[in-house]
Structure 1
Amino acid sequence: MDIRKLQRIIVNALEDVKAKDIQVFNTTKQTALFDRVIIASANSNRQARALGHHVFCEVKENGGEAVAIEGLETGEWVLVDCGNVIVHILQPALRAYYNLEELWGAHPVKLKMLEKQSEDSEEK
């Protein structure tokens, strides 16, 4: 699956469950293990678990590779491995403490917010 399509599916899934402060980073120059890191915040353990599960299911439903999901037990930091994309869903305190943006944030990806709206209007 095209990396842009996969990242759009993931961001849409995060937005569906009201994730906060979604950021996407291009990591192709930093590691050969994956091409994107997506970081989002959840307001509660329950929301973090719901976000992780929803991302995992949406990627699978759309023909993507959803390899694994970790952290559902506590819901403080949920990691979803989607092959070429790694998704981190954290509680705000953990996100501030670990500051993953500093580690992966060298190359932020700008998302076209109108893409989802145009897709929705095409379906109607």
Structure 2
Amino acid sequence: MLSTEEKTQAVVAALEDVKALDISVIDTSKLSPLFDRMVVASAQSTRQTKALASSVVVKLKELGATVYSTEGEDSGEWVLVDLGEVIVHIMQPAVRAYYNLEELWGVQPKLRANSGK
């Protein structure tokens, strides 16, 4: 069974594999009883948003983690992957700017990657 930190690292790696932009990790353990980490990443197209979500799902399943659900693949503007204690939001830049989850949660995220390299 993966720890929260191992799941988070695997999510970030899966996002980096498909060139996600502006990946941030927010520690929500003291803010919500529902999950301990929120990972937010940007994608440049609906195709990339879906590919990023798929990469996260495949990688985490390979590691034995449970993927509880994915939402939003139909539109591809914002896809949520629920891994239990780790929640992943993959968003188009305009959607991400509009909802500004980092500010909504009132935290400064730890940036893991700033570019698609």
Aligned length: 112
Matched ranges for 1:1-124 at <5 A:
1-106=2-107, 108-109=109-110
The residue aligned with 1:117 is none
SS of residue in 1 equivalent to 2:23: strand
Does structure 2 conserve the Cα–Cα contact (< 8 Å) formed by 1:26 and 1:107? no
Which protein has the bigger helix share? 1
Relative to 1, partners in 2 of residues 1:110 and 1:21: Cα closer, same or farther, differing over 3 Å?
closer
After superposing on structure 2, the runs of 4+ consecutive aligned residues of structure 1 that deviate more than 4 Å are none
How far the C-alpha of 1:110 sits from its partner, in A, is 6.2
TM score, norm. by length of structure 1: 0.85
1:22 partner letter: I
TM score, norm. by length of structure 2: 0.90
Any stretches of 5+ residues in structure 1 without a counterpart? 114-124
Deviations 1:60-94 (A, max 9, x none): 11011211111110100000001110000000000
Any stretches of 5+ residues in structure 2 without a counterpart? none
Could you tell me how far apart the structure 1 residues matched to 2:4 and 2:106 are?
A: 18
Could you tell me how far apart the structure 2 residues matched to 1:76 and 1:25 are?
A: 21
RMSD of aligned C-alpha atoms? 1.5
Q: Which has the larger radius of gyration?
A: 1
Could you tell me how far apart the structure 2 residues matched to 1:19 and 1:50 are?
A: 10
Could you tell me how far apart the structure 1 residues matched to 2:66 and 2:9 are?
A: 14
Could you tell me how far apart the structure 2 residues matched to 1:39 and 1:56 are?
A: 15
